Amino acid sequence: MALLHHATLTPSKRDLMAAWLATRDWCPDPDVTVVASYRFDDPAGEVGIEAAVLRTPDGTLLHVPLTYRGAPLEGADAHLAGTMEHSVLGARWVYDACGDPVGMAALATAVLTGGSEAEQYFEEDGRREVREPSMTVRGSGSDEPSDASSPAADAVEPHDDGGVTTIRVDAREVLVARVLGTDLTAGGPVDGTLTGRWDGQEPVTLAAVRHLPTT
């Protein structure tokens, strides 16, 4: 479950993403509007994991997973999207989740185990107030959660290819659709997918996982 805070963010998430998107070749226009978002839980409770669907002025839908950390991630400067000040939590380092092993392990686990978005809530006067999600996601897999279905890595290195980013995680490749509608099976069949939907939108593929051949 994801605990949310009534907080002021400087810069805002939208402004931080827009500045970072201006440096991405797969983004046609960084003047984006936030359409919906979803979260995953970090089992250790240390890293915030949130992905947004954004719309550009020409109607292109972008998928931007991010992680939020209370301290810099060692060796991940190339994947830093920016920093922000959170009025409750203080300074936050915001990373492209495709370059953060915690973010990619959570995504891959959701795909392989049939996982869904994390429930979000606020604490109000000692009571838990659940926040309705703006979108839902679902993995296609059916594995029971285990070490085998919960990949982990000390570091990941994403590779952009058009509207898809490929990330090696353990003995798997995670394919993240940056531009929604991009075919994630162009490089071969996949073993599972993550689909999302929100009001007025038919299910769309957000990511996929492919097992790599053993040598």
pLDDT string in tens for the chain (215-residue length): 455 556 788 999 999 999 999 999 999 999 999 999 999 999 898 999 999 999 999 999 999 999 999 999 999 999 999 999 988 778 999 999 999 999 999 999 999 999 999 887 676 666 677 778 899 999 999 876 555 455 556 778 899 998 999 999 878 899 999 999 999 998 889 999 999 999 999 999 999 999 887 65
Q: Please state, in angstroms and rounded to a whole number, the distance separating the CA atoms of residues 189 and 209.
A: 9
State which residues form the domain around 45: 2-211
Which has the closest alpha carbon to 117: 65, 184, 177? Answer: 65
Predicted local confidence at residue 171, as pLDDT: 84
Q: Other C-beta atoms within 10 Å of 202: how many?
A: 6
Predicted local confidence at residue 106, as pLDDT: 94
Q: What is the DSSP string of 66-88?
A: EEEESSPPTT-GGGEEEEEEETT
Predicted local confidence at residue 186, as pLDDT: 87
Instruction: Read off the pTM.
Output: 0.90
Predicted local confidence at residue 144, as pLDDT: 66
12 Cβ contact list (under 8 Å, min separation 6): none
Q: Please state, in angstroms and rounded to a whole number, the distance separating the CA atoms of residues 95 and 80.
A: 4
Predicted local confidence at residue 184, as pLDDT: 95
Domain count, the chain: 1
- Tokens 């085998």 map to which residue? 148
What SS3 class is residue 168? strand
70 Cβ contact list (under 8 Å, min separation 6): 46, 89, 90, 91, 92, 93
Q: Please state, in angstroms and rounded to a whole number, the distance separating the CA atoms of residues 89 and 140.
A: 34
Q: Please state, in angstroms and rounded to a whole number, the distance separating the CA atoms of residues 64 and 47.
A: 16
Six token digits for residue 41: 């839980």
Q: Please state, in angstroms and rounded to a whole number, the distance separating the CA atoms of residues 99 and 158.
A: 6
β 48-55/2-3 pair status: unpaired
